[in-house]
């Protein structure tokens, strides 16, 4: 990969990161995901030795902690096999 190509990728990564944060700030979660994914894809174009840690990693860590907390607070239900037919599933005609 040439230095010129690397410079273009760095520029695209900066643009994607900026737009991702702006989207998140504006509660545009769908666009945040789009631009964050752009950043990840550009990062993967770089040689392994030049890749960066995701600027969104701290958000993922917060989501992990929040999800773990929510999961621990959920009640555990035991469903009987007969209840599944009422819920419907693929292949049973429901």
Domain ranges of the chain: 1-48
pLDDT exceeds 90 at position 69: no
Which residue, among 14, 2, 6, has the nearest Cα to 46 in the 3D structure? 6
Across 23-27, 76-80, 83-87, least confident range = 83-87
What's the predicted TM-score (pTM) here?
A: 0.71
Rounded Cα gap, residues 61 and 25, in angstroms: 18
Q: Model confidence at 85, in pLDDT bands (50, 70, 90)? A: low
């Amino acid at each position: 990969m040439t230095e010129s190509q690397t410079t273009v990728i760095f520029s695209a990564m900066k643009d994607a990161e900026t737009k991702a944060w702006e989207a998140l700030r504006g509660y545009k979660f769908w666009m945040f995901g789009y631009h964050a994914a752009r950043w990840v894809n550009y990062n993967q174009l770089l040689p392994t030795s030049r890749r960066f840690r995701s600027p969104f990693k701290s958000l993922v860590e917060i989501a992990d902690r929040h999800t773990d907390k929510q999961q621990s607070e959920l009640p555990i239900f035991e469903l009987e096999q007969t209840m599944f037919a009422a819920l419907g599933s693929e292949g049973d005609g429901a």
